[in-house]
Amino acid sequence: MTKDVEAVSVQQQPEFLDIDYHDPPPALLIDMEELKKWPFYRAIIAEFVATLLFLYVTILTVIGHSRNSDLGAGGKSCGGVGILGIAWTFGGMIFILVYCTAPISGGHINPAVTFGLFLARKVSLIRALAYMVAQCLGAICGVGFVKAFQSAYYDRYGGGANQMAHGYNKGTGLGAEIIGTFVLVYTVFAATDPKRRNVLAPLPIGFAVFMVHLATIPITGTGINPARSFGAAVIYNHEKSWNEHWIFWVGPFVGATIAAFYHQYILRAGASML
C-alpha cells in the first residue's frame, strides 16, 4: 500500500510543477489614458456607493446594538445582536458589495486593499488615489446618513468610531490592526489569484472580515479599513477618536504592505521559479 501511494505521488509530481496560468501584465505606474475612459469614472462611482452602503448598514447595526443592549435606556442585556452579529454584518456586507462591484471596480471598498493591490502593480497610482478618495467620501456620507436617521442615539453610543478599548494600549491596537489587515489583504490576493478557477472570491474575503472582527472588536472596535475609521471619526468628531486615529491608518497600511510582499514576492515568486 505504501509503495502504491509513493508511486502515485511521484507520478503526479510533474503535474504540480507545471504552471498552467498566466499573470496579467503589471499596471502602469501612472496611466494618464485612464482619465479619458468612462469605465474609470464608473469604477470610482462604484467604490463611492459601495463604501457608503457598507458604512451605513454596519454603523447603523453598531448603534442599534448599543441602543438595544443599554439597560439604562430600557434595553435588555441580550437585546442587541452582540459581537457575533456585528461581525456578521461587516463580513456579510463585504461579501455582498464585493460580489456586486467586482466586475466594475474590482470591489476594493477599502483603502488598505487598494494600497496592497497598488504595491502588487494590480492598479495604477492614479486609480489607487482616486479609489481611496472615493472610499473616504463614501464612508463619510454613509456615516452621515446614520447620524441623520439615529440622531437621538448616535453621539450617546459613540457613533461607531474606532477607539482603543479600556485596558489595551496603543501598541496592542496597532498590532491588532496590522495582523487583521494582513489576514484580509492576503485573503484578497489568494482569492483573486489567477491559479484559481471557478472560485467565488467574495465569499472568502467576506469571511475573512467576519473572522477578524470577532477577534479584534474587543480591542479596537476593528478598523482594518481606513475609510471606515475615517468616516466614523469625521462625523463623530470627538477628541479621543482623533487622538488614536493614526492607528487605523498606519496599522492597515503596514498590514497591506506585508501581505502584498508575502504573496507577490515569496509565494508567487517561488511558484514562478519552479
> Measuring CA to CA, which residue among 41, 54, 36, 55 is closest to residue 105?
41
Q: What is the mean pLDDT of each run of 10 residues along the chain (274 residues)?
A: 43 46 75 88 98 97 85 64 93 97 95 97 95 98 95 89 93 97 96 78 95 96 97 92 94 98 82 45
On whether the pTM is more than 0.85, the answer is yes
pLDDT tens digits, 148-202: 998 888 988 989 999 999 999 999 999 999 999 999 999 999 999 887 765 688 9
Element at 236 (helix H, strand E): helix 226-236
Where does 62-196 show beta strands of DSSP type E? none
Angle at 181 between CA 179 and CA 186, to 5 degrees: 95
SS3 content of the chain, % helix, strand, coil (to 5): 75, 0, 25
**Residue 189, C-alpha cell as written in the block:** 490576493
Q: What is the DSSP track for 81-115?
A: -HHHHHHHHHHHHHHHHHHHHHHHH----SHHHHH
**Residue 170, C-alpha cell as written in the block:** 496603543
Q: Which residue has the cell 469571511?
A: 207
Please tell me the distance from the alpha carbon of residue 31 to that of residue 114, in angstroms, as a whole number. 16
Amino acid at 198: N
Q: Let me know: does 51 contact 223? Beta carbons within 8 Å.
A: no
pLDDT tens digits, 13-25: 444 444 555 677 7
- Provide the angle, in degrees to the nearest 10, between the axes of the packed helices 170-191 and 111-119: 60
Please tell me the distance from the alpha carbon of residue 166 to that of residue 176, in angstroms, as a whole number. 15
The alpha carbon dihedral of 172, 257, 108, 194 has a sign of negative
pLDDT value at position 75? 63
